[in-house]
Amino acid sequence: MSNCSGESNMSDVLKLAQKFNCFYLSGFRTSECKPFIVQGFQVGLIRPDVIKQLLSFPEVFHFNQDCVELNPAFRDYDTRSVKVDEVLKELKTKNVFMTLKGWRDECYEVKTQFDTPSLLKMDRSATCLFGIRNYGVTINGFVRHPEQGQCLWFQKRSASKQTWPGKWDSMVSGGLSVGHGIFETVYKEAMEEASVPDNLLKNLKSAGCVSFYFESERGLFPNTEFVFDLELPIDFIPVCSDAEVECFEILPITECLRKILSQDYKTTNAPVVLDFLVRHGVVTPENEPDYIKIIELLHVPLQTIYWHRNKIKENGFGANEIQGSQ
């Protein structure tokens, strides 16, 4: 079938939406990656280069043609977490995966769905090796300026950061690590990254979430970000209380699209800003020909994307036929 979607004429914004969904739109098609199964449930996907290394640990990972399974003899959360951690630390020593050089000593939970109990925890530098779904929070810090109109704050990440050093990012963001809830994390990060005082944080408004599936040389990133809008007074200046941030900048929202399209913007933060620009009437169906496709690509079905594969194997259904069913 010839291309009927006008691909060659696609907008820069659609290209960006395809870039932060590069795995969803290409790698996910192939059967190169194998489902990662824990206690009978798919929780991730593993690339061939990672499988090759895991083959050295047959007492921890079991392999067959269809999937990689964590040894089902590990019956509880603590055992599973310890056994996987031992493998990861050995791989870190062997120096085979660049992502493990950024070992965090901070874990993410590994779950079937966001609201189901965790099956194990894993250092956050390692989750991309297994395609584990990550969850984070982001604050769009904005100002209503009397002359410049609505303006949005950005931070430049420190050059010493393990991931995306020196790239532009949202004013505040952070991953949901073990033991920390959504609102707890967003308050903590607002304080640490931008020194937002409590009296301003009371204006924080939950505004949705974005879901996308990115891939880089480091690994696979199925990511859902909980999005918050925070209106700030025009005289507030964010200040970082640790060494994570190089500087902050504020831009009129009409200039933000250009900002996130630039090469020095963190690709995996662009969806949050794009969603902000859609919700606040900057990107509209009048000025963006690929408006609907872009909004669909801000919300790809990550909560059901793995579950399907389990069902396919069991029932022989095509995945499109149970898309989104739960």
Q: Is 35 or 219 the residue whose CB approaches a second copy more closely?
A: 35
Q: Using CB under 8 A, which of the segments 19-27, 77-85, 122-130, 247-255 binds a second copy?
A: 19-27
Q: Which is nearer to a second copy, 9 or 199 (by Cβ)?
A: 9
From the CB of 206, what's the least distance to a second copy, in Å?
4
Closer residue to a second copy (CB): 94 or 205: 205
Among 208, 248, 259, 261, binds a second copy (CB under 8 A): 208
- Does 211 contact a second copy by CB under 8 A? yes
Among positions 89, 104, 188, 279, the unique one binding a second copy when judged by CB under 8 A: 279
Is residue 262 close enough to count as binding a second copy by CB under 8 A? Answer: no
Closest by alpha carbon to 85, among 67, 62, 108?
A: 108
- Stretch 149-188 residues interacting with a second copy (CB under 8 A): 182-183
Of 7, 280, 286, the C-alpha closest to 151 is 280
Nearer to a second copy, 54 or 209 (CB): 209
The CB-of-66 to a second copy minimum distance in angstroms stands at: 13
- Subset of residues 22 to 81 that bind a second copy, contact rule: CB under 8 A: 24-26, 28-31, 40-41
Point out which span in 82-90, 141-149, 259-267, 282-290 binds a second copy (CB under 8 A).
282-290
| Min dist. Cβ of residue 280 to a second copy (A) | 7
Piece of the chain touching a second copy by CB under 8 A; list 50-58, 66-74, 159-167, 295-303: 295-303
Candidates 62-70, 82-90, 247-255, 300-308 — which segment interacts with a second copy by CB under 8 A? 300-308
CA distances from 10 to 81, 147, 300, 310 (A): 44, 34, 19, 34
Contact (CB, 8 A) for 88 and 108:
no
Among positions 87-126, residues that touch a second copy (CB under 8 A) are 112-116
3-state SS, the chain, equals CCCCCCHHHCCHHHHHHHHCCHHHHCHHHCCCCEEEEECCEEEEEECHHHHHHHCCCCCCEEECCCCEEECCCCCCHHHHHHHHHHHHHHHHHHCCCHHHHHCCCCEEEECCCCCCCCCEEEECCCHHHHCCCEEEEEEEEEEEECCCEEEEEEEEECCCCCCCCCCEEECEEEECCCCCCHHHHHHHHHHHHHCCCHHHHCCCEEEEEEEEEEEECCEEEEEEEEEEEEECCCCCCCCCCCCCEEEEEEEEHHHHHHHHHCCCECHHHHHHHHHHHHHCCCCCCCCCCCHHHHHHHCECCHHHHHHHHHHHHHHCCCHHHCCCCC
Separation between Cα atoms, residue 113 and residue 118, nearest integer Å: 9
User: Does residue 304 interact with a second copy by CB under 8 A?
Assistant: yes
Q: Closer to a second copy by CB, 43 or 91: give it.
A: 43
Measured from the CB atom, the residue of 129 and 300 that comes closer to a second copy is 300
Tokens coding 152 = 């949005």
Cα 236 to Cα 248: distance, rounded to the nearest angstrom: 12
Minimum Å distance from CB 14 to a second copy?
A: 8
Among 69, 169, 215, 290, the residue binding a second copy under the rule CB under 8 A is 290
Among 224, 267, 268, 269, binds a second copy (CB under 8 A): 224
Number of residues that bind a second copy (CB under 8 A): 73
Q: Identify the residue among 8, 64, 65, 326 touching a second copy (CB under 8 A).
A: 326
Min CB(198)–a second copy separation in Å: 18
